[in-house]
């Protein structure tokens, strides 16, 4: 699986950064997916993992979403 860490979650063309391509601005789509997964885990009162486990699980969920998204883009 290819992890495109440069794909933006909220693409924008910002004139105040003329030397940077738009894909480098803001949060990546993978980070956005991980944040949403983390939000779900934190809302589950039965989740009792450490912060490290929470972070790892959130990025595993994000990677699964990215992988599925890439399958559907073919």
Could you read off the pLDDT of 2-55 as tens digits, one per residue? Answer: 555 566 777 666 656 667 665 556 788 899 999 999 999 999 999 888 999 999
Backbone phi and psi for residue 30, each to the nearest 5 degrees, phi listed first: -60, -45
Cα R_g (the chain), whole angstroms: 15
pTM: 0.68
Confidence of residue 1 (pLDDT cuts 50, 70, 90): very low
Distance CA 39, CA 62 (A): 12
Backbone phi and psi for residue 42, each to the nearest 5 degrees, phi listed first: -70, -25
pLDDT value of position 47: 87
What's the pLDDT tens digit per position in 25-39?
A: 678 889 999 999 999
């Amino acid at each position: 699986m290819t992890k495109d860490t440069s794909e933006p979650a909220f693409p924008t063309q910002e004139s105040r950064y003329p030397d940077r391509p738009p894909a480098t601005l803001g949060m990546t789509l993978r980070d956005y997916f991980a944040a949403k997964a983390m939000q779900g885990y934190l809302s589950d009162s039965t989740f009792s993992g450490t912060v490290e486990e929470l972070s790892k699980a959130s990025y595993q969920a994000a990677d699964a979403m990215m992988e599925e998204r890439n399958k559907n883009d073919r």
